[in-house]
């Protein structure tokens, strides 16, 4: 029997918490060997969906399969085969790095004859080998995340689920963490990653935007940017707050958001909107604004999906 081509199949999945619909008839597929990013704001349903995939929560409706195994019928088989790194991974601060790895290896039934080699390789790959005897509680935030990932990988899963794995980690550690993820993926491992960071989503093969438990759009980063309906106008000025308020009342502006030191306005036509926007800004006593059409970013594509 040939191996399944899909690592994750989600069909019409719904999960409710009382009157709140956390995941709403959601359908999605993830190919084997793919880096798939799930992007959305807090409360969008990212964590709930990941917990459903790994069998930690029961479905209300729909079907979920991981590596062609039905999660509802064989949750223990799925949980034994995947790696799952939640937002708050429970390292044991009073255990050393090696002891934490050994604990998770025993949970997943890694044979003792394989543990030393596997743990040594992970610590070396993650630049943690010199710290094997250090207590986990004494590690920096970035090192804790790498140890958590090593524990997730100790049983060599082919599919791993990571729920905002770099939240609260400094930018340098985030880049290092993603270098490690790329290395894991090159070995054929499927990565399903939720993230609030658009720069991380750009690193994925495909991205799904989620809000209120439903998928807004899904595709490669380039497809999502290319499919944005409308133009993006960058507004550079000192009074960003005042400029944003002035432009929000302009009928030609669908949305306007702060992007770093500038504003990004979504419009149907930049050529038509820019003169009107300049007039609005002058009327608000903002004379120093510089406006220009720019290529859309992935964040622009996400904001456009939310715009009415």
- Cβ neighbours around 135 below 10 Å, total: 16
Q: Which residues contact 269 (CB under 8 A, 6 or more apart)?
A: 230, 231, 252
pLDDT digits (tens, 9 = 90+) for 144-187: 999 999 999 999 999 999 999 988 788 888 888 999 999 999 99
- Helix (H) or strand (E) holding 160, with range, is strand 159-163
Tens of pLDDT along 262-290? 999 999 999 999 999 999 999 999 999 99
6-225 matches 228-306 in fold: no
Share of the chain above pLDDT 90, in %: 84
Q: Are strands 214-219 and 61-66 parallel, antiparallel or unpaired?
A: unpaired
Task: Note whether 79 and 186 are within 8 A (CB).
Answer: no
Residue 3 above 70 pLDDT?
A: no
CATH 3.40.50.300 fits 6-225, yes or no: yes
| Average pLDDT score over residue span 227-234 | 94
User: 1 pLDDT band (50/70/90 cuts)?
Assistant: very low
Does the pLDDT of residue 92 top 70, yes or no? Answer: yes
| Span 32-89, pLDDT tens digits | 999 999 999 889 999 999 999 999 999 999 999 999 999 999 999 999 999 999 988 7
Provide the 8-state DSSP code for 49.
Answer: H
Q: For the chain, what is the mean pLDDT?
A: 93
Where in the chain are the domains?
6-225, 228-306
Sign of CA pseudo-dihedral 47, 67, 185, 89: positive
* Mean pLDDT, range 199-212, rounded to an integer: 94
Which range has the worst mean pLDDT, 63-67, 201-205, 302-306? 302-306
pLDDT at 174: 87
* Average confidence (pLDDT) over 207-211: 96
**Beta carbons within 10 angstroms of residue 196's beta carbon:** 15
Q: What is the mean pLDDT of residues 100-108?
A: 94
**pLDDT at residue 4 above 70?**
no
Question: In this structure, which CATH number among 3.40.50.720, 3.30.70.120, 3.40.50.20, 3.30.70.100 belongs to the domain 228-306?
Answer: 3.30.70.100
Place of tokens 């994750």: 8
Token pair recorded at residue 228: 């944005």
Q: Please compute the mean of the pLDDT values over residues 232-248 and round it to a whole number.
A: 95
Q: Tally the C-alpha atoms within 13 A of residue 137's C-alpha that lie toward its C-beta.
A: 4
CB neighbour burial string for 44-79, b if at least 16 within 10 angstroms, e if fewer: bbbbbbbbbbbbebebeebebbbbebebeeebeebb
Contact 39, 210 (CB under 8 A): yes
Residue linked to tokens 């390789």? 121
């Amino acid at each position: 029997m040939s191996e399944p081509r899909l690592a994750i199949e989600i069909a019409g999945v719904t999960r409710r918490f009382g009157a709140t619909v956390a995941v709403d008839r959601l359908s999605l597929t993830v190919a084997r060997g793919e880096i798939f990013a799930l992007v959305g704001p807090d409360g969008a349903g990212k964590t709930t969906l990941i917990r459903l995939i790994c069998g930690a929560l029961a479905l209300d409706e729909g079907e979920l399969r991981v590596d062609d195994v039905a999660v509802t019928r064989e949750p223990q088989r799925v949980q034994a085969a995947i790696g799952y790194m939640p937002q708050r991974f429970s390292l044991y601060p009073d255990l050393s790095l090696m002891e934490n790895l050994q604990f998770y290896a025993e949970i997943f039934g890694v044979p003792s004859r394989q543990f030393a080699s596997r743990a040594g390789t992970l610590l070396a790959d993650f630049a943690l080998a010199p710290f094997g005897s250090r207590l986990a509680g004494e590690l920096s935030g970035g090192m804790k995340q790498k140890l958590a990932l090593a524990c997730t990988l100790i049983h060599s899963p082919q599919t791993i689920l990571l729920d905002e794995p770099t939240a609260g980690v400094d930018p340098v550690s985030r880049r290092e963490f993603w270098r490690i993820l790329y290395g894991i993926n090159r070995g054929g491992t499927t990565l399903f990653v939720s993230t609030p960071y658009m720069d991380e989503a750009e690193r994925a093969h495909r991205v799904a935007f989620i809000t209120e438990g439903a998928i807004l759009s899904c595709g490669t980063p380039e497809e999502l940017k290319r499919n944005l309906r409308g133009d993006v106008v960058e507004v550079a000025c000192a009074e960003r707050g005042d400029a944003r308020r002035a432009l929000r009342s302009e009928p030609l502006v669908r949305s306007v958001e702060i992007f770093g030191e500038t504003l990004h306005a979504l419009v149907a036509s930049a050529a038509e909107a820019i003169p009107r926007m300049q007039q609005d800004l002058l009327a608000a006593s903002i004379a120093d604004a510089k406006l220009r059409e720019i290529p859309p970013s992935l964040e622009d594509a996400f904001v456009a999906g939310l715009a009415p």
